[in-house]
Chains A and B, each alone.
Chain A
Amino acid sequence: MPDNVRPQSGDSRRDLRGSSGPARHHLLTSLFGIEGLHTLSVYREHGGYGSLRKAMFEMAPEDIMAEVKTSGLRGRGGAGFPTGTKWGFIPKGVPGPKYVVVNGDEAEPGTTKDRYIMENSPHMLLEGVLIACYAIGAHQAWIYLRGEYDGPYEMLMAAIAELRAEGILGDRPLERDYPLDIQIYRGHGAYICGEETALLESLEGKRAQPRARPPFPAVKGAWGRPTLINNVETLSNVPWIVAHGGAEYAKFGLGTAKGTRLLSVSGNVQNPGVFEIELGTSFREVIMEMAGGPPPGRRMKAFWPGGCSAPVLPEWGLDVSTDLDEVARAGSMAGSGGVIVMDDSHCMVRAARRLLQFYAHESCGKCTPCRVGGNWALRTYDRVLEGEGSDVDLGIFDAIQESLQNGRCLCALGDSAGFVIASTMKHFRSEYEEHCLEHRCSVEEQVVAASA
């Protein structure tokens, strides 16, 4: 096997780029790197499925929910909604099935943490899923996994087969009369499926267009039934919380951002990777130390702190902390934890154009501002980058970003496209003016001059 191909099973350490091994703040990744961690036997040797046993034999469902609430865990998919509160929305005592749906459609540009979890420790996710099922009174979980994730798919399939063979999935898991099952549903390539109601539409075999709410999925989700939808990383925290208690988890982090989270750092850094950090760590430490900072001779110009849908921050953003509220106060959002770093050899207008290409392509077409706005912005960027811009285009960018935002669409995709235009214009207006008014790019000129 050529060494550039990721092994699909076997030694996960071969190209583990990011956190692994014990450290005070490694709640998720402390076992990562252990030979064979993806197998049930090794996961169990290190205490795996102890939390499920504890949950099912020593705790009532409401106790589990209380621990998750106490932990202060907030959703790691992007919105940061308190997990315990979300669990509490699932109605009790309704007849008929309820579902746990795992959002494994990781597709926010710059975000790789869910893949990192599933490839390294698939059983940690599955244990969290089963505990969530028990806590909300569901017997069936569906993992919606993005279709391109062949590696995680094979890892999860193998892990589920092991659980069936061992009787942890089935009619009497751990000899207890509480049937449990997990199925995987593979996506087919659509960013919008990361939005929870679009995901449900896709799971039901439809074009993935977000639903109007209410009703919320907790009341009427998959196939019309009460459904809990959580992100992969969110549920992967649950075994630790059950084992150690919510109060212990809440000792990590600060303010209303408790615990640790995985940040995937990519772009122009020397040591890209997925790093588990305690919430509150500064972006300077994450980008400059853990990820090694920009390449030699380059200066960091800007970074997107939470996937490309989070408004870009210029260099001063390094002193912002990863606390969810502080990122919001800085005018951006912690989002999905995908930190994209750009150095001073890249043009911001060109970067914004590439991101608008993404939003234009991924718009589901349901809401007019997003369907029309994304493509209109993209065509405007193309015109400007071809040297045909004018002051009119500055006004067009402004008009488009405004009409994409402010809740004019059913989901956040339109807003996100608006954020890209608005934030890059706010912090890097001079580059827009150069392109639109002077038909030149000083960044490109510098790069060309340096290489001459």
Chain B
Amino acid sequence: MAQWRSARQGADDAVRFSRTLLLMFIALSAVLIAADRTEDRVEAVTVFRAAFNDLSLPILEAAAQPLRGLYNIGPWWRRQIELAGEIRELRQEMSELRAWRDVALNYSEQMRRQQELLNLDPPMPRQRITAWAVTETGGPFVRTRLVGVGTDHGVAPGYPALNIYGVVGRTIDVGARSSRILLLTDLNSRVSVMADRSNARAMLVGDNTDFPRLDYLGRAPDLREGDRIVTSGDDNILPRGLPIGEAVLDRRGAWRVALYSSATPIDLIWIWPFTPVGAPADEAPPGLQLPAPPPEQAQDDTPAPVIGVSQDEPESGSESGEGR
């Protein structure tokens, strides 16, 4: 037996790494890294990523389910205490929100009247696409989430993604049944924002930290700590007025944003269809290639086994081009 085992061990050890193959795969990896550089990503890589996400989605969804279940397992009494605390907080929040609801209804009525006076067509009601995050990745290079909705559900690249508190990021690598959400904290994320109070404009730049920084603020920005930061819509990437977070100063005196979306796990995500407003054809410089509008969405018949599509009030983003 010992003799047989040593013979088998010898056979195992005799198998050596093929140097040619090894060098070939090392070279291939280097080529892939070069092709996937942020500044000049090859289109085929994006398509390949989206196709892989579509294929791996069922396995990732299956793997995510037990983790969601585990989250709810724990001592019964601890869960009851947590629930009691949540109910107390929600009651307090609800009483405050009632006052805000009256204000909102008032404004809504005023806006409707003004639209009537100006003979404006009210924007069509928006639909949002609901999805669960199936992967969670952090680290120094990338901050993204994979969600189980894609072009089949009406998602197109660049759509804003929100959780219940605020903007999470926007869609990239959109496949037929999956999309990747580029978080606001990712190094490649750039969003034009403004302070709700003063309309001070800035660029929200992700730097793979939990507090993205505010760049291009100007010399004397009218900004205070705690100012509510919302999307400005100036970049024509995200609609105007979506909640982002609160302005905070870091140790070095630079402005950063404490994201509202960080208050809760980025698990349930809403994707808002948004069509950027193109420049008028006669004002566009000659030779300028305008971004192609996303494909027509057939959201009315969107199937929703894991996802849901819900009706919402029209949001200010729909007029982002007109308001500016």
Task: Answer whether A and B are interacting partners.
Answer: no
Q: Which B residues fall within an 8 A CB radius of A?
A: none
